[in-house]
Amino acid sequence: MAATTYASIFDVADDEGSITLPGRPKPFQLHPIGSKDALRLRKRFPDFKGNIENLQFLVQNDDTDDDLTDDTVDRLVRVIEFTNAMVAVALGHAGDEKAEARIDTMFSEDEKAAIISRAQGLSVATPDEGFSKRSA
């Protein structure tokens, strides 16, 4: 009779991953964005109730400078702050304001989006077909 094998929580998905950004010499280690991190971000940024996937990065057009109200500028600042905080969580620096400030100048908006997307993928990773293996 064959022995029954069970999956372990450590067999199902990797805790960490990495992302290599074009033009960067080394990959960056990523961490999943867990429930506690997501709730902390929601508490800190209550105005962002939707998923980051639905967040559009706004690009300023030189022709619309006159249309920017103080409220619009404030909203753009909050988008940038939220994005930097999400990237900080993904890179293992949750709640670190110095890291968030550095992220703001270190990465482009496209790089930030790629980091967040990859970290979210780790957060909701599903096992592959061979996940049911014997635990160590």
- For residue 131, pLDDT over 50 is answered with no
Contact 48, 56 (CB under 8 A): no
Given this model, what pLDDT does residue 50 score?
56
CA dihedral 99, 105, 34, 55 (to 10 degrees): 150
Sign of CA dihedral 88, 90, 35, 45: positive
pLDDT of residue 10: 55
The pTM of the full predicted model, rounded to 2 decimals, is 0.69
Could you give phi then psi for residue 63, rounded to 5 degrees?
A: -75, -15
For the chain, how many helices (H) and strands (E)?
5, 2
Max Cα-Cα span within the chain: 77
Q: Which region among 9-23, 87-101, 112-126 has the lowest average model confidence (pLDDT)?
A: 9-23
Q: Is the pLDDT of residue 134 over 90?
A: no
Q: Report, as an integer, the average pLDDT of 97-126.
A: 88
Asked if the model's pLDDT at residue 49 lies above 60, the reply is: yes
pLDDT at residue 7, rounded to an integer = 58
pLDDT tens digits along 61-74: 444 556 678 888 88
Does residue 120 register a pLDDT over 70? yes
What percent of the chain clears pLDDT 70, i.e. is strictly above it? 67
pLDDT, mean over the chain: 77
pLDDT at residue number 81: 93
